[in-house]
Amino acid sequence: MSSLSSNQSTVLHVKKTLILTKIATASNHNRDRHLARIVAGNAENLRTHLESMCNILRPDDRLTLMVQLESGFPNRFRYLVIISCIGKQQTEESALLGFDVTTNEITIGMILPIWADLDISLDGDGGFKVTSCDQCYIFKPVSVQALWTAYQSLHKVSNQARHYNYIANNGLTHSWLEHYRNIDLRSNQIYINEWNQMDDILSHRSDSPHLYQPLSSDEESLRTRIHVKLKEIMLQVNLDEVTPKFVSYQFMFFLL
């Protein structure tokens, strides 16, 4: 596999988090530097996987988020990726792509345009749920950092979609996604089924025992308040710099 040329990307390793600087060449050949947030648990394979994804991207498309997800199959890696570009209306459009990576190939198992109706919520078990156009997707990142990085990034692009009022199937936006719907890039049906799993399909994680213990009304109220406060705190901080001590300090004042 050929490596990326110097005018395409520079990868900086920071522990298990990598920051990709991708230089996209526009039609006028002006170079624009873009940063992507990348969080994964398999640092030894990430460089190769990243290069494979960049080889699939159109020249003007930008990879703005890459998060590793749990996988139900051995020797196969799953990544949730946000791709953005300037569309026909000269506004930025984004989409979620689900990449499946094995030893021999890289394919796409899910394509979800970011429309104005996109809703993101935590599922309470280390993952989050995305709903759009009556379709629901559940994603389980490999770490808490990956979860919150994805959660923040999705809120950002969904707010942008609402700002520009991107409506599904109106033919005015996201036509560039046809490139990624190429049959040669499509994952096999078994992998696609995992991307499309719903709430009633068994999670790869076992349920926590405390989920079966009834809570009093006061305990339920406190848990809800803590959940809301945690979301509020994590949406306001830089996940690459925040420490558990800082979060605990914020909670101390909240619980007083």
How do residues 165-179 score in pLDDT, each as one tens digit?
999 888 889 999 999
Looking at the domain covering 9-195, what would its CATH class be?
mainly beta
| Confidence band, pLDDT 50/70/90 cuts, at residue 153 | very high
Give pLDDT, residue 46: 80
**Which of 37-41, 78-82, 202-206, 237-241 has the lowest average pLDDT?**
202-206
- Asked if pLDDT for residue 159 goes beyond 70, the answer is yes
252 has pLDDT over 80: no
- The pLDDT value recorded for residue 79 is 94
Tokens of 29: 């050949």
Q: How confident is the model at residue 242 (pLDDT cuts 50, 70, 90)?
A: low
For 125-141, how does the pLDDT look when each residue is reduced to its tens digit (9 = 90+)?
778 999 999 889 999 99
> What is the overall mean pLDDT for the chain?
75
Distance, in Å, from the CA atom of 225 to the CA atom of 124, rounded to the nearest integer, reads 14
* pLDDT: which is higher, 253 or 181: 181
Residue listed under structure tokens 């990142």: 141
Q: Which residue has the higher pLDDT, 11 or 99?
A: 99
Amino acid identity at 202? L
Per-residue confidence band for 213, with pLDDT thresholds at 50, 70 and 90: low
Of the ranges 36-40, 120-124, 160-164, which one carries the lowest mean pLDDT score? 36-40
The mean-pLDDT minimum among 24-38, 79-93, 180-194, 225-239 falls in: 24-38
pLDDT, residue 52, reads 87
Judge whether residue 19 has pLDDT over 60.
no
Could you count the other beta carbons within 10 Å of the beta carbon of residue 59? 10
| Contact predicate 97/64, CB 8 Å | no
Bin 75: left if φ > 0, else alpha if -120 < ψ < 50, else beta: left
Per-residue model confidence as pLDDT tens digits over 21-73: 332 322 232 233 344 566 666 656 788 888 888 889 999 999 999 999 998 88
Q: What distance in Å separates the CA atoms of residue 114 and residue 53, rounded to the nearest whole number?
A: 20
Report the pLDDT value the prediction gives residue 41, as an integer from 0 to 100. Answer: 62
Q: Which pLDDT score, from 0 to 100, does residue 243 have?
A: 61
Torsion sign (Cα): 76, 82, 83, 88: positive
pLDDT at 113 over 80: yes
pTM confidence score? 0.66
